[in-house]
Structures are given as structure tokens and as C-alpha cells.
Amino acid sequence: MVSAGVAPKQICVIADEAGLVKGQHWAQFFNCPVNPESLDPYFFRFYVEGDRVYVRDAEKRLLEIDFDKNHLDYERKGHRGKSELIAKALGAAKGCRKVLDLSVGMGIDSVFLTQLGFQVVGVERSPVLYALLTEAFAKTKKEYLKSYQLHFGNSLDFLREQKGKVEVDSIYFDPMYPHKKKSSLPKQEMVVFRDLVGHDDDASLVLEEALSWPVKRVVVKRPMQAEELLPGVIHSFEGKVVRYDSYVVR
């Protein structure tokens, strides 16, 4: 997928004494400096404060991923299990249990799928989001998240390189929606998130490649009024705001 990968001049790592080793690890991953004298040149600042890891942009907007704090609704109480729209779309009632999530993002849908009993393999292309997710999975106390498999990379490359090597029943794809109106910006986490991941300009290519995999279902999350990403939707599971377009492969 087209990646808004963070260039070294865009990000720096700020680590306290307790988080210095971890900070140096991620700085090497990002190819960026640790604790620079001035923060002015860097739009994103990746903070490592002991076990806490988070990102702020130059306008001090915060993005933090912590599955146990649940500030982004990671623990959904009162869910309907296999009756959830996303579970129906992915074929839970048909025995589908292993899901490949091509766009993990902040992990909200991925974590929910795991909570619903799916075994999830996730792919995330943003190095910063991958780092935040890695730390969140490492420190969570939720046992059902311990088996989650997270991969860093471009999902189109992953699909091409891992076909026949990763065994899953269904594929889930939630491409970044285009901006609608500048006056209706979402909350601060989503603003930082959009700046980090950019746009999915080749989403149709990703879907086309996903449809070549030997799986039972490929599901694409779409806004209610959006057109189909590609023709061939067998059924749409519609909610109030989004729908899940299901393609049956075999």
C-alpha cells in the first residue's frame, strides 16, 4: 500500500532514563535521533517513559495505544458474539476462525475480532503505529491478546509474498476513508493517525490481490454511502454508519 512512512527528519525519540534502551531500539527502527537538543525540526515525537510509549505531534496532539486502559473502546462489553455484523461478514457462523487484518491501524477492530474469538494475524505499514502496537501487545494483561500475530509491512507486498504461507479463513480490510470536510475533523487521536498513515490510494489493488488468496471470505469495511471498492460483493452487512462488503472467494 502507499505508505506515508515517517522520514528521519519528521520524527525523533524522546526517552527518559528508564526508557532509554527501548527508546534507542525504536530510534534505530525509525532511523531517527534520540533526545535531540531541539524538537522544532520534528513533527512527530515518539516518547518512551519507562513502560509508557506514546506519540505527540508538533501541535501536542496525543496518540497512545493501550489495550488495558481502554480509552479507545478496546474492551467492548455486551457484544453479541457471532451476531455482530463484523463476525457475520467474516463467516463466523460458517466456521471461519482465522482472520488476516490487512490494515491494523490503532488495532480497534483487530482487538475486537480477537475478543470475539477469532485468531488474528495483522499487518501494519506505518512504522510508528507498528511500534505503538508492538508495545501495547507486549504489555497487555489480556490473555486473549497474547496469541495475536503482528507484522510490519506494506499489505500489498505481504499478500504477494505470503500467499500459501499464512493459513487464514478470511481476510479483513479497512482502507483509510478520504477526508470529507475539513470542518469535521475527528478527535485528536484520529488527526494524528491520519497524518501517520496517509491515504490508501491503491486500496483496489490490495483487494484484488486479497481476492486471489485461497480463503472463504474477503471483507471490506466501507462508509454507508460509499461505492463498492470492487464489483462482486455477495452481501453487505449494514450498520448505521458503516457496512461490511463481503466477497466470497470459494
**Which residues are registered as beta bridge partners of 99?**
120, 170
- pLDDT of 250: 61
Whether residue 23 contacts residue 54, with contact meaning beta carbons closer than 8 Å, is answered with no
Q: Which residues pair with 15 in a beta bridge?
A: 48
Q: What is the pLDDT of residues 104-139, one digit of tens each?
A: 999 999 999 999 999 999 999 999 999 999 999 999
Q: Cell numbers at residue 4, please?
A: 506515508
pLDDT tens by residue, 164-201:
999 999 999 999 866 544 434 457 788 888 888 877 77
| Single-letter amino acid, residue 240 | K
Q: What are the residue ranges of CATH 3.40.50.150 in the chain?
A: 81-248
Is 79 in a helix, a strand, or coil? coil
Q: Quick one: 81-248 is in which CATH superfamily?
A: Vaccinia Virus protein VP39 (3.40.50.150)
Distance, in Å, from the CA atom of 23 to the CA atom of 13, rounded to the nearest integer, reads: 6
Distance CA 198, CA 240 (A): 26
3-class SS of residue 21 = helix
Instruction: Give the pLDDT of residue 7.
Output: 54
pTM over 0.85, yes/no = yes
pLDDT at 4 exceeding the cut of 60: no
Looking at CATH, the fold of the domain delimited by 8-63 is given as Rossmann fold (3.40.50)
- pLDDT, tens digit (0-9, with 9 covering 90-100), for 56-93: 999 999 999 999 987 777 877 756 677 899 999 999 99
Report the phi/psi class of residue 159: left, alpha or beta, with left for phi > 0 and alpha for psi in -120 to 50: alpha
> Running DSSP on this structure, what letter comes out for residue 124?
E
Question: What's the order of all strands across the beta sheet hosting 217-223?
Answer: 149-152, 119-124, 98-101, 170-173, 217-223, 242-248, 235-238
